[in-house]
């Protein structure tokens, strides 16, 4: 290919992009849609269910306070601490439940794999920023709240290129 | 004070980085990095004679994290999250060979569907890494469009990885015994449409970047690494293939299901910077082809993970496995003494083996050619330091 046609081809390729949709996610107004309700794990089959690994969700009626999630986190992030809760549950004699420090968590989800009682899952909530380190520590009652999932934008591909809807 | 001393003092005041080396004003020492935009956490000290480079000293180790030592204090599963930190864009490949080595040690085989899913993540991550590398190569040579396009199109691959593994980078998806979870619904259709679109975009990259006469002038015939030198220096991956050696671990030592996949090893015989920049791009094309083939041949259902105890004990012995990562051969040598933790883990990465060639390539070339040679070596500073 000679020099002139090379330049013309390059310019033409660039100019064509005046008519192509912009590939930008306008983040606070638009939010991405994810598959499922977050990463879950089925201990019977020993395999996970695909989903985003965001903030955890803790089911108080299933947690037995066995500390397996806390042990799984040893050597990874050491973000999980078992704390005393006021509630009384039949299956949880010691009344202890995990408290997660999101300043340390790496969102690997190995704690979810360790839970044999379907009590700890992950959710689609990824907006965890806060002004203080103290607010990043989520207590068992905070972890029980189901996040609001309002993402609706997906990548669409048409004749004018790919874009976020 | 003589006039020469005054001159030296004056030159020292002018800039912190420029130090006059000798009295006859001939050689100049130039320190590139460790905070130079682009070099990353890495420095090389160049000695210049006029515009020509006469000596290069590498100064590595700014981001040494002690990954190998950290492995000795964690069990075979909790090693996964920290091992993928050196290359967050290519984390599927860096945990791939580790998982293979552990499986070899314990003596288990991964279910067939799990092997396909592993290869799929590995290829998606290869594309992801190479597009990021290409974006930086573009901005190194002053081509800002080539920075914007791959950085935006990476989103297509990141979206797929997010659906499949749950994270855009550092997926912790490969694990000894298989993969963490199965494919979500409708993943196959989504993957095919986005990969097909990416392939169309690759043609435009060729028009605006690889066939651009300006880019060709800056890279063709620059930094020649001959076939013999490449083998002697022990470079790997795209750098070796750009020097005319068709060597790919996926072909030479097929792991998992790669022996069933039909693909070509891309190599060029021009041995220059252009070849080293073009080979990863051709690899991306080949990866698109492999992904389509993997999705086609994948069994419809089946197990993806072999159940293992979370504190599994490896029998005393050794294992050595390697995979082809985005930057070349990535190998793990694992030694076990029978406890639940590895006794010794040795990681050999493509980045470290490729950067060894830099002093040999830079000597004799102009300073202006330095960015074109340096980033063509397909190098990732953090992975080299481990």
DSSP summary character for residue B335: E
- The whole-number average pLDDT for the span B251-268 is 88
Q: Which of A49, A50, A157 sits opposite B163 (nearest CB)?
A: A50
B337 SS3 class: coil
Distance, in Å, from the CA atom of A78 to the CA atom of A83, rounded to the nearest integer, reads 14
What is the bridge-based pairing of β-strands A47-49 and B174-175?
Answer: unpaired
Q: Cβ-count burial of A158 within 10 angstroms (0-12 exposed, 13-18 middle, 19+ buried)?
A: exposed
**Chain B residue whose CA is closest to A24:** B152
Average pLDDT of the residues of chain A: 86
Distance from CA of A88 to the nearest CA of B (A): 30
3-state secondary structure B43-72: EEEEEEECCEEEEEEEECCCCCCCHHHHHC
Max mean pLDDT among A116-130, A144-158, B23-37 falls in: A116-130
pLDDT recorded at residue B131: 92
**pLDDT higher than 80, residue B1:** no
Contact assignment for A162 to B197 by CB distance below 8 Å: yes
**A155 in any annotated domain:** yes
Closest alpha carbon to B361 in B196, B199, B243, B214: B243
A8 CB within 8 Å of a chain B CB: no
Closest chain A residue by Cα to residue B202: A13
Residue B39 reports pLDDT greater than 70: no
ipTM over 0.85: yes
Give me the pLDDT at residue B37, please: 58
Task: Over range B234-251, report the average pLDDT.
Answer: 88
Whether B310 and A107 lie within 8 Å, measured CB to CB? no
Residue A14 in domain:
no
pTM for the whole structure? 0.87
Q: What is the DSSP letter of A147?
A: P
B192-213: average pLDDT: 88
Distance CA B212, CA B206 (A): 8
- How far, in Å, CA of B54 to CA of B33, rounded? 18
Model pLDDT for residues B335-379, shown as the tens digit of each residue: 998 888 889 999 998 888 888 888 888 888 888 888 888 888 888
A77/B contact by beta carbon, under 8 A: yes
CA separation, residue A104 to residues A66, A124, A126, B39, B69 (Å)? 21, 19, 15, 29, 21
Whole-angstrom Cα distance, residue A29 to residue A26? 6
Range of weakest confidence among A29-38, B13-22, B23-32, B242-251: B13-22
Q: Which residue, chain included where needed, has tokens 């912009």?
A: A22
Give me the total of CB pairs closer than 8 Å, taking one residue from chain A and one from chain B: 104
| Residue A60 within a domain | yes
The helix-helix angle for B273-297 and B187-205 (nearest 10°) equals 160
Find the CB nearest A52 among B162, B204, B216.
B162
Best CA proximity match to A65, nearest among A102, A91, A34? A91
**Average confidence (pLDDT) over A130-134:** 90
User: Of B316, B302, B360, B286, whose CA–CA distance to B110 is shortest?
Assistant: B302
Q: Is A148 contained in some domain?
A: yes
Nearest CA-CA distance, residue B29 and chain A, Å: 37
User: Which residue numbers of B have CB closer than 8 Å to A's CBs?
Assistant: 73-75, 77-78, 80-82, 145, 152-153, 155-156, 159, 162-167, 170, 172, 180-185, 193-194, 197, 204, 207-209, 211-213, 216, 303-305, 307, 310
The pLDDT value recorded for residue B31 is 83
CA distance A27 to chain B (A): 14
Alpha helices in B141-186 (DSSP H): 144-165
Determine the residue among A17, A41, A162, A163 to mutate to test chain B binding: the one whose Cβ has the most chain B Cβ atoms within 10 Å. A162
CA–CA dist B187, B161 (Å, integer): 10
Domain ranges, residue A31 = 26-163
- The total of structural domains in chain A comes to 1
Q: Provide, as residue numbers in chain A, all residues whose Cβ is less than 8 Å from the Cβ of B75.
A: 75
CB nearest to A48's CB, from B74, B181, B204: B181
Cα–Cα separations (whole angstroms), residue B272 to A74, B239, B265: 48, 9, 18
Reduced to 3 states (helix: H, G, I; strand: E, B; else coil), residue B304 is coil
Residue in the structure block whose two tokens are 């990824």: A126
| Best residue in A2, A72, A108 for a mutation probing chain B (most B CBs within 10 Å) | A108
**Torsion sign, CA atoms B145, B148, B154, B156:** negative
Residue B152 with chain A: CB contacts under 8 Å:
23-24
Residues linked to residue B332 through DSSP beta bridges, in sequence order: B321, B347
What does the alpha-carbon distance between residue A104 and residue A12 come to, in Å, rounded to a whole number?
A: 49
**Cα–Cα distance, B15 to B119 (Å, whole number):** 51
Strand partners, A122: A56
* A contacts of B183 (beta carbons < 8 Å): 50
Cβ A50–B182 below 8 Å, yes or no?
yes
Are B166 and A3 within 8 A, CB to CB? no
C-alpha R_g of chain B: 23
Tell me if A53 and B166 make a contact (CB, 8 A cut-off).
yes
Locus of tokens 């573009």: B138
Q: Is residue A91 part of a domain?
A: yes
- Residue at token pair 């048409």: A158
Q: Which range among B116-125, B212-221, B280-289 shows the weakest confidence by mean pLDDT?
A: B212-221
Put simply, whether A10 touches B (Cβ < 8 Å) is: yes
Q: Which two tokens stand for residue B345?
A: 């883990």
Q: Is residue A8 in some structural domain?
A: no
Interaxial angle between packed helices B144-165 and B112-140, expressed in degrees from 0 to 180 and rounded to the nearest 10: 160
Confidence of residue A7 (pLDDT cuts 50, 70, 90): confident
Residue A6 resides in a domain: no
Asked whether residue B91 carries a pLDDT value surpassing 80, the answer given is yes
Among chain A residues, the shortest Cα distance to B304 is held by: A47
Domain-embedded: residue A18: no
What's residue A1's pLDDT?
62
| Percent of chain B whose predicted confidence (pLDDT) is above 90 | 11
pLDDT value at residue A36? 81
Domains by residue range for chain B, with CATH: 3-59 (no CATH), 67-385 (1.10.645.10)
Beta-carbon separation of A10 and B305 below 8 A: no
- To the nearest whole percent, how much of chain B has pLDDT over 70? 95
Which band of pLDDT confidence, cut at 50, 70 and 90, is reported for residue B221?
confident
Q: For B266-271, what is the mean pLDDT?
A: 87
A120 touches chain B (CB under 8 A): no
């Amino acid at each position: 290919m000679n020099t002139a046609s090379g330049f013309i081809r390059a310019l033409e390729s660039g100019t064509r992009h005046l008519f192509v949709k912009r590939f930008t996610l306008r983040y606070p107004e638009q939010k991405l849609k994810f598959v499922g309700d977050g990463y879950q794990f089925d201990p019977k089959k020993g395999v996970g269910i695909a989903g985003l690994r965001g903030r955890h969700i803790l089911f108080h009626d299933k947690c037995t306070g066995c500390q397996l999630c806390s042990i799984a986190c040893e050597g990874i992030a050491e973000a999980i601490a078992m704390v005393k809760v006021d509630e009384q549950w039949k299956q949880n004699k010691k009344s202890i439940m995990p408290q997660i420090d999101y300043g340390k968590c790496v969102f690997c989800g190995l704690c979810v794999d360790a839970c044999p009682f379907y009590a700890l899952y992950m959710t689609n909530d990824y907006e965890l920023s806060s002004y203080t380190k103290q607010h990043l520590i989520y207590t068992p009652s905070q972890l029980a709240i189901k996040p609001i999932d309002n993402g609706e934008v997906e990548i669409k591909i048409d004749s004018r290129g790919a874009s976020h809807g | 004070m003589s006039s020469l001393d005054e001159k030296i003092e004056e030159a020292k005041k002018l800039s912190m980085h420029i130090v006059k080396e000798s009295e006859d004003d001939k050689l100049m020492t130039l320190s590139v990095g460790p905070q130079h935009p682009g070099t990353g956490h890495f420095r090389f000290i160049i000695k210049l004679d006029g515009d020509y480079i006469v000596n290069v000293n590498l100064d590595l180790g700014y981001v040494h994290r002690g990954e190998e030592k950290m492995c000795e204090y964690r069990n075979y599963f909790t090693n996964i999250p920290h091992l993928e930190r050196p290359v967050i864009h290519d984390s599927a490949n860096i945990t791939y060979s580790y998982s293979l080595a552990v499986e070899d040690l314990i003596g288990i085989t991964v279910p067939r569907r799990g092997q396909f899913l592993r290869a799929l993540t590995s290829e998606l991550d290869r594309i992801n890494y190479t597009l990021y590398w290409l974006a930086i190569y573009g901005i190194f040579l002053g081509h800002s469009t080539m920075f914007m396009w791959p950085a935006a199109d990476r989103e297509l691959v990141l979206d797929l990885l997010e659906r499949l593994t749950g994270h855009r980078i550092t997926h912790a998806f490969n694990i000894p015994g298989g993969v963490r979870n199965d494919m979500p619904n409708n993943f196959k259709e989504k993957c095919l449409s986005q990969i097909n679109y990416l392939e169309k975009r690759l043609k435009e990259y060729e028009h605006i970047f690889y066939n651009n006469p300006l880019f060709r002038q800056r890279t063709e015939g620059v930094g020649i690494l001959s076939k013999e030198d490449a083998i002697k220096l022990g470079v790997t991956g795209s750098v070796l293939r750009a020097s005319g050696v068709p060597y790919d671990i996926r072909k030479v030592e097929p792991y998992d299901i790669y022996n069933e996949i039909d693909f070509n090893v891309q190599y060029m015989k021009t041995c220059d910077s252009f070849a080293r920049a073009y080979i990863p791009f051709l690899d991306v094309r080949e990866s698109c082809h492999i992904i389509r083939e993997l999705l086609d041949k994948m069994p419809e259902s089946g197990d993806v993970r072999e159940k293992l105890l979370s504190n599994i004990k490896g029998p005393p012995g050794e294992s050595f496995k390697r995979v082809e990562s985005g930057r070349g051969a990535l190998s793990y040598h694992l030694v076990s003494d029978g406890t639940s933790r590895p006794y010794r883990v040795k990681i050999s990465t493509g980045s470290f083996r490729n950067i060894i060639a830099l002093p040999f390539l830079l000597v004799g070339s102009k300073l202006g050619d330095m960015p074109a040679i340096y980033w063509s070596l397909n190098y990732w500073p953090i992975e080299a330091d481990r």
